[in-house]
Amino acid sequence: QKEVEQNSGPLSVPEGAIASLNCTYSDRGSQSFFWYRQYSGKSPELIMSIYSNGDKEDGRFTAQLNKASQYVSLLIRDSQPSDSATYLCAVNPNNDMRFGAGTRLTVKP
Binding mask 65-104 for other proteins (x = CB under 8 A): -----------------------x-x-x--xxxxxxxx--
Residue 105 binds to other proteins (criterion: CB under 8 A): no
Q: By CB under 8 A, name the one of 14, 15, 42, 52 that touches other proteins.
A: 42
Residue 18 DSSP one-character state: P
- Secondary structure (3-state) at 71: strand
Residue 13 binds to other proteins (criterion: CB under 8 A): no
75 to 3, 28, 79, 95: CA distances (angstroms) = 22, 23, 9, 26
d(CA 82, CA 64): 22
Residues that bind other proteins (CB under 8 A): 32, 34, 42-46, 49, 88, 90, 92, 95-102
